[in-house]
A = this chain, B = another copy of it.
Amino acid sequence: MDQSNDVASWWRTSIIDMEPGRIGLRGYDIADVIDHAGFVQMIWLMTRGDLPSPEQARLLERALVASVDHGPQAPSIAVARMAVTCGVGLNGAIASAVNLLDDVHGGAGEQAVELLTRVVDLIRDFASPEEAANRALDGWTAAHGPIVPGLGHRFHKDGDPRSPALLAAVDAARDAGVVSGDFALAARAVEAVLSHRKGRRIPINIDGATAVIFAELGFAGPLARGLFCLSRSVGILAHAWEQMQQGGRNKGPTPPAYRWLYDGAAPRRIAIDN
């Protein structure tokens, strides 16, 4: 057995090529990217394999900027702040916090991409966005329950302030021929149908608006979650650093005078023969 070959090929990648003194990222020399590629372009290049156009990069950048933070009441931010008061360094605070960006908190973007993709596929078969949205919503709620990813917000009840600027940017990119606009159309159709069903406006939220951008730009659903992680890491870092400077030791979620509701067993003793 040619052992050098099997060990050296146990890990296989198209992302990076290296030898002493040389680093190539997707074929581009590291000095070349340092001088000529921006950070958003690198995010695209590393995950997709080629460089984006300036217009594509700008649209992706808007989505990344929009998601950086939502305040100390967001679980991810709260975790980062508590972590540093326990002595954890910034890498550890970021790690504990990013781990929470799962299905319900950040992962909703991944699910919104899935839902919108279904709508777009149905529109290709049906003439009407309204019919497509109705069918996709029925299928989604049957499979996943009543929560629809990408719409509504329990805090920004009358509209997520991040969505209008993002959707306007998508419309402009569509008008300029950079994206098709199919996913924006799908999202608006879902918004209309869901709002009609509920009898009140259920607007597209940050997960939905960024899902529109990621899908328009061709990113697969799981990458919607990954990109949200890169974005939210900025707010996580900022809050962790700020808390590090504020101090505090072992900060719990509320002021320590508050306990919790105990609804467990009444006091009892262990039977000694047990």
Contact = CB atoms under 8 A, between A and B. Distances in A.
So how many copies of this chain end up in the complex?
4
A247 to B, nearest CB: 11
Given A25-B69, A43-B234, A226-B241, A11 B81 contact: yes
Instruction: Bin the interface of chain A by size.
Output: 35 or more
Contacts of A4: 3, 258
Interface string A30-72: 1111111111101100110101011000000110111011111
A125 interface: no
A20 B242 contact: no
Which of A21, A30, A85, A256 has the most B CB atoms < 10 Å from its CB? A30
Contact of A260 (B11, B96, B223, B234): B11
CB-CB nearest 6 A-B residue pairs: A253-B253, A27-B265, A87-B103, A14-B264, A95-B99, A86-B105
Given A233-B233, A253-B72, A259 B18 contact: yes
A166 interface: yes
Contacts of A235: 15-16, 46
Nearest to A260: B11
Interface stretch (A115-123, A151-159, A182-190): A151-159
Contacts of A166: 34
Contacts of A253: 10-11, 72-73, 75, 78, 82, 252-254
B90 A238 contact: no
Interface stretch (A132-140, A173-181, A192-200, A266-274): A266-274
A106 interface: yes
A3 B147 CA distance: 29
A54 B251 CA distance: 38
Contacts of A33: 65, 270
A126 interface: no
A101 interface: yes
Nearest to A157: B20
A249 B153 CA distance: 12
A211 interface: no
A143 interface: no
Given A29-B267, A237-B230, A102 B73 contact: no
B106 A99 contact: no
B65 A42 contact: yes
A197 to B, nearest CB: 20
Given A10-B254, A255-B7, A263-B14, A83 B100 contact: yes
Given A46-B237, A162-B30, A259 B94 contact: no
